[in-house]
A and B are shown apart, each in its own frame.
Chain A
């Protein structure tokens, strides 16, 4: 097989990574943008989403699609509720002070992680995909009679992976519409622009914060439910999404949603392609290097505003 089919395969894998990463990173970006909170526990909300999805799918039984569908709705809601509770009991108490919230969310990270270890255990467990039909992809090759279509062995994807990409695009569009077109989005953007002025114009900032923190966590959980049929749920699975989300959010520009999505596609695709051709470690090294370059030459990120 020549290079082309490999590249398509790698891009498809990368697109799945990018889709899940975009959801997770947008959650992190939203929380940082509106609340100025650097949420170190974001990866644990991702992990919780996967673990809760496993619990739901496992206890419901029946057709895999039923358990998965329930998990897709319930897991983000449960994780969102946990995050709201964490916001009201912890972050609010430390007055959303930038340094203290970092320490507080580090604490939250370990609490969630250890609780997951105690209840869920150290094993990695899969959730069955609701549907998973293989699709073979064609490739064009110049044969004797000119160009012809062939079906190289191994070149293909599954309906589920395509559905993950589609679902992520739909959710991201939903988030964008929420921010740009709705009353609640306007209130969130006003709070992001100037917290004190939001208060001075009657916006219940504490309630907005609780909602945003819940929403950010719910997005991470949703991303995890989508990926868990491909990757399995494990109590330590939050570390990679956290690192990659931070990379994406820094490259995209802190608090900028379009920049975050752009950077997620960039990092996800390059991660997929470099992992296939070289090694996943090299992919992480290059991504981290890119963060360094962005911080030195364009500290506001690709789409961020200078001085914001």
Chain B
């Protein structure tokens, strides 16, 4: 379970997040919805320790991870699939995954499990990461995070710019992670995609947390979404 308790964070003196609280239970997909600049990516970067936590608390299964040096946050068990994929360019698919495996010292069995989910990556194993297609790169970014066997998984717009078959493949993996008890925090622009996969939806506006609503409710009543996102 990943818990954010009244966190404040931002870039330098520009504060973005204000007293944001969120709870992602294990085996649940929580989707963060909000307009551009609402603070979705900032939330993820703050969890990863890439932006300084000004105040508040972040815990993973009870362990305080908000005050850890950034490189120890993933070792506690948080996998991050950043916006724009951000693979290690110049490194091969195998080497990108190796970095992921080493984060928490997992061996070849974990690699096999992950490649089982993304067979395409096995075919591209020795290829440089930047030579993959967009969809394959997204698969690699996701696989790299799964190599941590994470307790919590952060995905920032994982289906951005992908063709439908790829979106479906990524979605399948996310659902599978949920069934394995991973706490999944998902940021997604396309509301339909969110509602079909999420268990709960948390709205964020101007860096502050809004309502948290069961996805089921949203599936029946779209008007709430429109109030926050303003389609």
* Chain A residues with a Cβ under 8 A of chain B: 183, 186-187, 189-190, 192-194, 196-205
Contact = CB atoms under 8 A, between A and B. Distances in A.
Contacts, number: 65
Given A200-B80, A202-B102, A194 B75 contact: no
Given A186-B99, A190-B99, A192-B90, 16 more contacts: A186-B91, A193-B91, A194-B86, A196-B50, A197-B82, A198-B71, A199-B49, A200-B80, A201-B74, A201-B100, A201-B102, A201-B103, A201-B144, A202-B72, A202-B102, A202-B103
B87 to A, nearest CB: 8
Interface in B68-101: 69-75, 80, 82, 86-91, 95, 98-100
A198 B99 CA distance: 8
Interface residues of B, number: 28
B31 to A, nearest CB: 21
B67 interface: no
B104 interface: yes
23 contacts: A183-B102, A186-B99, A187-B99, A190-B95, A190-B99, A193-B87, A193-B91, A194-B88, A194-B89, A197-B88, A198-B88, A199-B71, A200-B70, A200-B80, A201-B99, A201-B100, A201-B103, A202-B71, A202-B72, A202-B75, A202-B103, A204-B69, A205-B71
Given A190-B99, A197-B82, A202 B88 contact: no
B48 interface: yes
Contacts of A193: 87-91
A204 to B, nearest CB: 5
A198 B48 CA distance: 11
Contacts of B86: 194, 196-197
Contacts of B72: 202
A203 B99 contact: yes
A55 B85 CA distance: 52
B33 to A, nearest CB: 23
A258 to B, nearest CB: 12
A189 B90 contact: yes
B82 A200 contact: yes
